[in-house]
Amino acid sequence: MVDAGLINLLLENFWASKKNICVPVYQGDRGNPVVFSDTFYEALFQTENDIGARHIIQKNPDQVLRVEIDNPKCFFDIDTEEDLRTLQAWLG
């Protein structure tokens, strides 16, 4: 459910800031995708399993730019058949 508009919004805000991490936020909840500067490339390459980069974001709160978005659907994760049915209902 992530579209080019969201990617462009994140990148524009990221490039205009002096922060090294940019995250989309909907009503206070952080989502994906996340933009990282090359400052964190080494740490990103060292992530293991399915933990993602949550720990990098949590350890560097002063480096995080939060961009408020208006569409919670881009945060939706499809892990179950119920999730799939929800997505199908959204798409009509």
Q: Where in the sequence is the domain holding 52, given as residue range(s)?
A: 4-91
Q: If pLDDT is split at 50, 70 and 90, which confidence band does 71 have?
A: confident
Which domain CATH number covers 18?
3.90.550.10
Task: Using the predicted structure, report yes or no on whether residue 2 has a pLDDT greater than 70.
Answer: yes
Number of domain units in the chain:
1
Q: pTM for this structure?
A: 0.84
* Residue tagged 């500067």 (tokens): 37
- Predicted confidence (pLDDT) per residue in 34-66, tens digit: 999 999 999 999 887 767 789 999 999 999 999
Residue 50's pLDDT is 67
Average pLDDT, the chain: 91
Evaluated on CA atoms 47, 53, 59, 65, the torsion sign reads positive
Residues above pLDDT 90, as percent of the chain: 63
Residue 75's pLDDT is 82
Round to whole Å and give the CA distance between 79 and 92.
20
CB 75 within 8 A of CB 31: yes
